[in-house]
Structure 1
């Protein structure tokens, strides 16, 4: 089996019992950051062994719910050009050429957080682009976990936002999107 590294954000009630409950349900492969006295938002950094990235993330979410915490999101990895260069063993200049289409196949993913000086890109999108174009030797597990984290985060965020709507609006939205 493969070990998948990811970060899960959650909300927890106050009390020492929360940390114990999380370990009892299976979060013994995570480093948990939470002030048990006040509860609130916390995060868990997992190194989870599983048959797939999806199973790793889904099992952590389900276990967290069984322990009484509410999953808020899975960290999608946003990266700068410098971080892309470091992860691929290329220079920042080479990565910049991919971004600006001066070299490479073009169609580099658009930044998720465009900024004048340092834009941030989705590592899920960038890693899939790199592999599809044969520009970097990335492990399939790293590409898979990046993709799953991106989708899991969007799904959890959408679920949380949807709850803010009146029931009738929620139902209409679900019907329209289905």
Structure 2
């Protein structure tokens, strides 16, 4: 089995019982960061052994729900060029050249959050591009977990946001995107 690394963000009411409940629900393979005195947000950093990335992430989500925490999202998918350089062991100049098309195969993923100084890119899209063009040594597990985390994060955020809609609006939206 493969070990997958990812984070789940959550929110919970104050109390020591939250960390205990998460551990008892199965987060014994996660480092949990949460201030039980103030409540609010926390996260679990996982190194989970599983047959696939989807099974690793889904099992952690189910366990978080059993512990009755509000799951906010999965590993942040947005990275800067500097973070891409750090994760791939390349220089910032090399990554900038890929992004601008001055070097490499071209077709580098467009930024998800374009900014004048520091744009943010989808790590899932970047890992796929790097592997396709042989520009960084990424394990299949690294690519798989990045892709699954991107989708899981979007799904959790969308479900949380849908709770702010009236039932009729939620049903209409679900029918439109089904």
Normalising by structure 1, we get a TM-score of 0.94
Deviates more, 1:27-36 or 1:86-95: 86-95
CA distance in 2, matches of 1:49, 1:57: 10
Contact 1:76–1:146, Cα closer than 8 Å, also in 2? no
CA distance in 2, matches of 1:91, 1:69: 40
Q: Deviations along 1:6-31, whole A, 9 cap, x unmatched?
A: 11011112222121111111111111
Alpha-carbon shift at residue 136 of structure 1 (Å):
1.6
Instruction: For structure 2, list consecutive stretches of 5 or more residues without a partner in the other structure.
Output: none
Q: Deviations along 1:87-133, whole A, 9 cap, x unmatched?
A: 22322222222111122222111112222222221111100111112
CA distance in 1, matches of 2:176, 2:117: 39
Give the SS at the match of 2:164. Answer: coil
CA distance in 2, matches of 1:90, 1:69: 38
The residue number in structure 2 matching 1:13 is 13
Give the SS at the match of 1:138. Answer: coil
Query: Across the two proteins, how many residue pairs are aligned to each other?
Result: 178
The residue number in structure 1 matching 2:159 is 159
CA-based RMSD: 1.3
The residue number in structure 2 matching 1:42 is 42
The residue number in structure 1 matching 2:102 is 102
Give the SS at the match of 2:38. Answer: coil
Instruction: For structure 1, list consecutive stretches of 5 or more residues without a partner in the other structure.
Output: none
The residue number in structure 1 matching 2:3 is 3
Contact 1:7–1:75, Cα closer than 8 Å, also in 2? yes
- Seen in structure 2, the aligned counterparts of structure 1 residues 82 and 174 have a Cα distance that, compared at 3 Å, is same
Q: Deviations along 1:62-106, whole A, 9 cap, x unmatched?
A: 001101111110022322222222322322222222111122222
CA distance in 1, matches of 2:108, 2:17: 47
The residue number in structure 1 matching 2:63 is 63
Contact 1:3–1:49, Cα closer than 8 Å, also in 2? yes
Deviates more, 1:53-62 or 1:101-110: 101-110
Normalising by structure 2, we get a TM-score of 0.94
Give the SS at the match of 1:72. Answer: strand
The residue number in structure 1 matching 2:72 is 72
